[in-house]
């Protein structure tokens, strides 16, 4: 039986999804996706005074610095370091934790991203030294392959095929093929149909449904993470609105919040 994965937890009406660590990462990396509940209901979609208070309330251990990029459905990643500490809001849809960048020292703070149908993707490993990457991958990010962009950054920071062979990946709740479709007249839809594997695209009259979680699985595997080290939640955010926020389901301002840190 798998000793790691994604565990849904509910306490006093507050839902969260804990990323359970394999033995190699226990005590090294921690991550929680906060879902629907009273804590998150008190916040708004973007980082502001309410959101800052919420992030600090949900921090894994104690109050500390954090990065909170302004997400634009792109493929840019930033390093979690003091230069980008909140309240600065650089545009990015991914955050790299660990792996020294040039002369900058390690930063023992938190990384945060927000979601409401887009997929949280987390990659973590210990070789050649502890590292983690958090990604916000919706339709546009998946089509542009933010996963490949992340692995490009990791390679430039010293990771290699052995690093990825030893790494683990989690894909959290996102909108499933049951609920995600697009107009077939949209140029991005046509591009996706020609880019994604045929078995994840479902043609319907005037529309196309997409199974983005299977695209993400294939993208992670292509970069060298074996299928037995990829954990994908089967929760659809649009269907499972008891636990998740969904933009398509009507949550225009509320967002699930992923909070993570490396422990040095």
> Which DSSP symbol is given to 174?
B
Print pLDDT tens along the chain (264 aa): 468 999 999 998 999 999 999 999 999 999 999 999 987 876 655 555 566 666 666 665 566 788 999 999 999 999 988 888 888 889 999 999 998 664 455 667 889 999 999 999 999 999 999 999 999 999 999 999 999 999 999 999 999 999 999 999 999 999 999 999 999 999 999 999 999 999 999 999 999 999 999 999 999 999 999 999 999 999 999 999 999 999 999 998 889 999 999 987
d(CA 263, CA 17): 20
Q: What is the pLDDT of residue 36?
A: 94
pLDDT score recorded for residue 19: 97
Residues 136 and 115: beta-carbon distance below 8 Å: yes
Helix (H), strand (E) counts: the chain: 7, 15
Spatial distance between the Cα atoms of 52 and 185, rounded to a whole number of angstroms? 40
Distances in Å between the Cα of 104 and the Cα atoms of 47, 63, 99, 156, 167 are 26, 22, 10, 15, 24
How much is the pLDDT for 1? 42
Total Cβ atoms within 10 A of residue 160: 12
* Contacts of residue 216, Cβ cutoff 8 Å, sequence gap at least 6: 119, 121, 137, 142, 147, 171, 232
pLDDT score at 106 = 63
Distances (CA, A) of 203 to 69, 71, 97, 170, 210: 35, 30, 39, 28, 9
pLDDT at res. 103 = 45
């Amino acid at each position: 039986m798998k000793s790691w994965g994604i565990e849904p937890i509910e306490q006093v009406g507050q839902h969260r999804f804990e990323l359970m660590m394999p033995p190699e990462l226990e005590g090294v990396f921690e991550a929680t996706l906060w879902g629907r509940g009273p804590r998150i209901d008190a916040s708004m979609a973007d980082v502001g005074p309410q959101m800052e208070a919420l992030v600090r309330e949900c921090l894994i251990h104690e109050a500390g610095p954090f990065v909170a990029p302004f997400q634009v459905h792109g493929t840019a990643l930033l390093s979690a370091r003091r230069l980008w500490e909140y309240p600065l809001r650089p545009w990015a849809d991914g955050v790299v934790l660990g792996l020294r960048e040039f002369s900058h020292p390690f930063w023992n703070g938190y990384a945060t991203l927000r979601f409401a149908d887009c997929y949280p993707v987390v990659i973590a490993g210990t070789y050649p030294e502890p590292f983690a990457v958090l990604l916000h991958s919706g339709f546009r990010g998946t089509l542009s392959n933010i996963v490949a962009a992340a692995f490009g950054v990791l390679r430039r920071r010293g990771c290699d095929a052995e690093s990825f062979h030893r790494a683990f990946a989690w894909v959290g709740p996102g909108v499933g093929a049951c609920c995600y479709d697009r107009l077939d007249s949209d140029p991005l839809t046509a591009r996706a149909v020609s880019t994604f594997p045929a078995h994840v695209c479902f043609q319907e009259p005037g529309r196309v449904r997409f199974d983005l979680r299977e695209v993400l699985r294939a993208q992670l595997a292509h970069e060298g993470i074996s299928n037995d080290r990829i954990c994908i939640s089967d929760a659809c955010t649009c269907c499972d609105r008891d636990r998740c926020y969904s933009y398509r389901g009507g949550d225009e301002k509320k967002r699930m919040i992923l909070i993570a840190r490396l422990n040095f």
